[in-house]
Amino acid sequence: MYRFLLTRQWLILALLALVLIPTMVELGFWQLHRHEHRVAQNSLISHNLKAKPVPVATLTSPGHTVPRSDYWRAVTATGTYDTKHEVVVRRRTSTDGSVGFHVLIPLDLKGGGTVLVNRGWIPTADDQHAFPDIPAVPTGEVTVTGRLKADETTGTSGIKDLSDLPDRQVMLINSAQQAKALSRPVLGGYIEQTAPEPSGDVPELIEAPDDSSIGPHMAYAVQWWLFAAGVPAGYVVLARREKRDRVEAAAKAEAEGAGDPEPEQPEKAAPATA
């Protein structure tokens, strides 16, 4: 009764199911790994944000690549601002999604060395090629507290076009690029300022990363695995339905054949009498 499964149509359907099942299982594990990565990242963010601030020079140095384990680590830096080399970083969004600039300024450290400080977000001016008006930084020695971040690169940011930028505007926050512009060593990475807060509304300090949301990845993983389980179940249901339809069709044909009246026989002519 299941010989129809060997027909071309059903063999193609079986091959399709054999392809879909492992694909859906693999997609489920991919979502599971994304969930685990998000949980681990949230744990790292939470731990580093709560850690006691340490001097930035204890975690990084010129040419140093900030490891992921130190991302968002609370750090402090004491020194004087180099206002002549303050720049703005293009295409940055605020908390409400508005596009503007990040303000980036070198801080010459008290004990020697320079570190980049991201002061926060400001809106763009009418002329995006002109250097915007930025509230002045304090003069003299200051102490900045913030989150340690890794250098931005074209690979991590997706930004490729770094040419033909207006004066004192950049696309990436990168210590190597700024060290070349300043002609002096700069500590790897940069500080995302959290204190002191600006006296006015701008620059707008950057919010801390969210360490509570884990996203829908676990739910997506379960969905893919349910889909994978549903493929063979659906195949069996379709096969049983096909068998039932074939049995019913055969029974109907047999019943119609049994109910047909026998064909009438022609009457024989009576023999002629003499």
The closest alpha carbon to 223, from 21, 28, 54, 15, belongs to: 28
Q: What is the mean pLDDT of the chain?
A: 89
Neighbours of 191 (CB within 10 A): 24
Query: 190-195 and 142-149 as β-strands: parallel, antiparallel, unpaired?
Result: antiparallel
Give the position of tokens 């990475």: 189
- Report if residue 257 sits inside a domain: no
DSSP code of residue 148 = E
Counted domains in the chain: 2
Give residue 41's pLDDT: 87
Domain end marker among 195, 228, 256: 195
- Report if residue 141 sits inside a domain: yes
What does the pLDDT look like over 113-133, one tens digit per residue? 999 999 999 998 778 788 889
Q: Which residues pair with 108 in a beta bridge?
A: 80, 114
CA-CA distance, 239 to 245, in Å (whole number)? 10
Query: What dihedral angle (degrees, nearest 10) is formed by the CA atoms of 40, 43, 45, 46?
Result: 170
H-run or E-run covering 143: strand 142-149
- Report if residue 260 sits inside a domain: no
272, pLDDT greater than 60 = no
Give residue 274's pLDDT: 44
**12 and 137 belong to one structural domain:** no
**141 and 82 belong to one structural domain:** yes
**5 and 98 belong to one structural domain:** no
For residue 131, the one-letter residue type is F
End-to-end CA gap in the chain:
65
87, pLDDT greater than 90 = yes
Residue 228 structural domain: 1-50+217-237
CA-CA distance, 29 to 25, in Å (whole number)? 6
**190 and 226 belong to one structural domain:** no
